[in-house]
Structure 1
Amino acid sequence: MDLRRFPDVEGPGLVAVDAADRLILDEAAAFTDGLTRDDVVVIDDAYGALTLGLLEAVDGDGTIRVHQDLLTGERALAANAERLAITGFSSVPFGPDAVRGARLVVLRLPRSLDRLAEVAQLIAAHAASDVVVVAGGRIKHMTPRMNDMLGQVFERVDVTHARQKSRVLLARGPRSDTARDLLLSQPHAERHDDPNLVIAAHGGVFAGTGIDIGTRLLVEHLGGADGAEVLDLGCGNGTVAAWFARAHPDARVIATDRSAAAVASALATAEANGVEVDVRRSDGAETITGGSLDLVLLNPPFHSDAAVSTGIAEHLFADAARVLRPGGELWCVWNSHLRYRGALERTVGPTRQIARNRKFTVTASTRR
């Protein structure tokens, strides 16, 4: 299947379909007899390989429900389906209706055990009693704890033979009452005395309920940043947005992330700290009017899937430059070995170092 990652970052080593996708589809084929598309759910399909493959395998009318955490993945699926003239699926938000009554759930295993737990609990609580979960991934990202976690909410968990460094887990017999009880604890929350914040997070969000060391360094030095219109770009669990909103109660703080789980987490973090933040699911700053902001705060990722890639950071730098007013500032924390200063100078404007430790650098770039 000839698929693209667009609008996600594309480049060498970044693929839209891999061996795990193909193995998942082959294993799922054993459970499609007698099903309609309404019986089938796909969760966290990367770029559409699972959804489009199942549409070919499942006969009959109806619509396959698809939830993808990343907005870019959702858009890539739509773009690939349009290019290949394939219909018969619907993108849905994460929640009980996404899996209600499902008899086959096909899942790309997340790397986060917390994300797998939240997804598995949702399926076990709300799918059909005869549901089969076909969950696969690359072996290097799988651990025995995934089997153990699935075993908490399903009666039976089987492991398939490996193929091309990929493997599939099969889960059956949902323990629905146990799953509902576990779901009540979502999202998790943790209080941090320094910087005196409660951080809430759903499964799979970067740093979870913690504060990663890069974000902590940025927050420690944000006393020199100011603005009435502020954006936390790629907000994750909402640490930076909540801190700034509390420190500057008169500021309008917006937070964006392409992850639905991150958006839900940032909203929960803002609520837990009694501050108002306008949180949006967005690919970068696409929902922000150009030249409208005084300040952008950013801790950019440097991985796309398993590959190290500066493409996402460069995309976010360009977004920051577009939405900042002349004289506005981008405050950014980044892994020092990536040497982003040149890119920041070219894309945004004059850049000065605010802080640096053994691993991270904080800079402020002024929009030309």
Structure 2
Amino acid sequence: MPEFDYSRLRRFPDVEAPNLQAWDATDELLVQHALDAGVPGAEIAVIGDEYGAITLALADAGLHGIRVHQDLVTGRRALANNVAEFGLGTSSFAAHELDANLLSGARLVLLQLPKTLAALDEIADAVARWAAPDAVLVAGGRVKHMTLTQNDVLARHFGAVQPQRAARKSRLLVASDPLRDREKPLPAPETTTHVISRDGSGFSPGEFVLCAYGGAFAGSKLDIGTRVLLDAMGSGALRASQGAGVRVIDLGCGTGALAAAFALQHPDAVVIATDRSAAAVRSARATMVANGLADRVEVTLDDAGSELPDAGADLILLNPPFHLGASVHEGAGRRLIQAAARLLRPGGEVWTVFNSHLDHRRALTRDVGPTEQVVRTPKFTVTRSIRRG
């Protein structure tokens, strides 16, 4: 059987660039471990397969019935695109959320290590809780990003954790003997109460609660950029917020801080919070419930608002990421700026906060319209852009 050609994999619709590829050596090590183990495809679950490299390589080797969970919508769409490129069809695997349907009866779980320990703890708990009693979790990552604390997290949920020899700057951790406790409550989201009321700020609902499940960026903390944007919106002339029925989108909402704060301050607004991360969306929905906003704020899983109508928003709140995985890259932010331009009505506003060293103001002026600086701190810049007609 010819070897799987990883070089044909693409990241699309995620950002593509010469220094960004759709697989790494960890994917290949995980695939080889699975093939050597000889476990049937129907007893394999794959978690964190960013663009489908693991799933498709196993399908190409003849395995069927693989279950896969990808957090990002872009990854899910990239997998579908790569399936078409390789002509494999979708019968070899089935997509799931991180739940019992993904893991029930699974004897081998392949995991690309997540960026945070909280996400790893949540995944390890799910595997120990729902997978087969003799399940083995094989977690892999790039050596430069791995820590001994990851071993400790796995040891909370498995009786044995064995690091493997590093190869090609990647390493596998093999966790076996799951410590099953079906009576243990499901992990609840981390919650933190924040006070954003400050002297001189008109954008102050007072206290609100942020909720976060394991994979959500910044956990339940209010990240610095979001706080800067909230303060700026309180002191700035936010014309687009005036009037009943104003349509607002928190684009790339994360745990939903901006959407929740705005909805509390503007009870007549129609607010949508959207993110490409399933963990973020799950967290944002919990945030809305915690703040009594579940019936007022719609939270959607989507890639850059692709399923929302053009020119339908009066106001967009934007705190774009500047990382793609472990790489610092402006591409993710630029995609959201372009999405904001599509989603805003003529004359609508986008309020953006970004690291001051980034050239987002030029991109906002080009793609959205006239852009002014509202606030600049030593680290962050807040701008207001008006959608040109």
Q: Same fold (TM over 0.5)?
A: yes
2:245 corresponds to 1:241: no
Deviations 1:132-174 (A, max 9, x none): 1111011111111110010011011110000111101111111
The CA deviation at 1:191 is 1.3
- Pick aligned residue for 1:279 from 299, 306, 311: 299
The CA deviation at 1:305 is 1.5
Q: Which residue of 2 aligns with 1:266?
A: 284
Letter in 2 for 1:50: I
Structure 1 residues 230 and 180 mapped into 2: Cα distance closer, same or farther (>3 Å)?
farther
2:305 corresponds to 1:305: no
The CA deviation at 1:180 is 5.8
Conserved? CA contact 2:371–2:385, under 8 Å: yes
- Pick aligned residue for 1:91 from 95, 103, 119: 95
Conserved? CA contact 1:28–1:134, under 8 Å: no
The 5-angstrom pairing of residues 91-240 of structure 1 reads: 91-177=95-181, 181=184, 184-194=186-196, 196-223=207-234, 224-225=237-238, 226-227=240-241, 228-240=246-258
Q: Which residue of 1 aligns with 2:204?
A: none
- Root mean square deviation, CA, Å: 1.3
CA–CA separation in structure 2 for the residues paired with 1:306 and 1:172: 28
Q: Which residue of 2 aligns with 1:329?
A: 349
2:66 corresponds to 1:52: no
Letter in 1 for 2:69: H
CA–CA separation in structure 2 for the residues paired with 1:28 and 1:189: 37
Q: Which residue of 1 aligns with 2:41?
A: 37
Letter in 2 for 1:289: P
Q: Which residue of 1 aligns with 2:201?
A: none
- Pick which of 334-343 and 22-31 moved more: 22-31
SS in 2 for 1:199: strand
Letter in 2 for 1:360: F
Deviations 1:116-138 (A, max 9, x none): 11011001000001111111011
CA–CA separation in structure 1 for the residues paired with 2:179 and 2:36: 23
Identical pairs, percent: 49
CA–CA separation in structure 1 for the residues paired with 2:88 and 2:175: 29
Q: Which residue of 2 aligns with 1:76?
A: 78
- Pick which of 74-83 and 229-238 moved more: 74-83
CA–CA separation in structure 2 for the residues paired with 1:323 and 1:26: 44
The CA deviation at 1:30 is 2.9
Conserved? CA contact 1:332–1:363, under 8 Å: yes
2:13 corresponds to 1:7: yes
The alignment covers a number of residue pairs equal to 362
The CA deviation at 1:184 is 2.6
CA–CA separation in structure 2 for the residues paired with 1:76 and 1:331: 30
The CA deviation at 1:57 is 4.0
SS in 2 for 1:97: helix
Conserved? CA contact 1:117–1:203, under 8 Å: yes
Letter in 2 for 1:119: I
Conserved? CA contact 2:122–2:187, under 8 Å: no
Conserved? CA contact 1:125–1:180, under 8 Å: no
CA–CA separation in structure 2 for the residues paired with 1:176 and 1:58: 31
The CA deviation at 1:186 is 2.1
The CA deviation at 1:292 is 1.0
Conserved? CA contact 2:107–2:135, under 8 Å: yes
Q: Which residue of 1 aligns with 2:202?
A: none
CA–CA separation in structure 2 for the residues paired with 1:165 and 1:336: 33
The CA deviation at 1:256 is 0.6
CA–CA separation in structure 2 for the residues paired with 1:339 and 1:126: 46
Deviations 1:163-216 (A, max 9, x none): 111101111111111x762x5332111112335221100112111010110011
Deviations 1:300-332 (A, max 9, x none): 011112222111111111111111111100000
Unaligned 5+ runs, structure 1:
none
Conserved? CA contact 1:111–1:142, under 8 Å: no
CA–CA separation in structure 2 for the residues paired with 1:3 and 1:141: 23
CA–CA separation in structure 1 for the residues paired with 2:183 and 2:282: 19
Deviations 1:94-134 (A, max 9, x none): 21111111111111000110001101100100000111111
Q: Which residue of 1 aligns with 2:68?
A: 66
Q: Which residue of 1 aligns with 2:32?
A: 26
- Pick which of 187-196 and 123-132 moved more: 187-196
Q: TM-score by structure 1 length?
A: 0.95
The CA deviation at 1:27 is 2.4
Unaligned 5+ runs, structure 2:
1-5, 198-206
CA–CA separation in structure 2 for the residues paired with 1:273 and 1:354: 28
Conserved? CA contact 2:74–2:303, under 8 Å: yes
Q: TM-score by structure 2 length?
A: 0.90
Conserved? CA contact 1:36–1:58, under 8 Å: no
SS in 2 for 1:137: strand
Conserved? CA contact 2:351–2:385, under 8 Å: yes
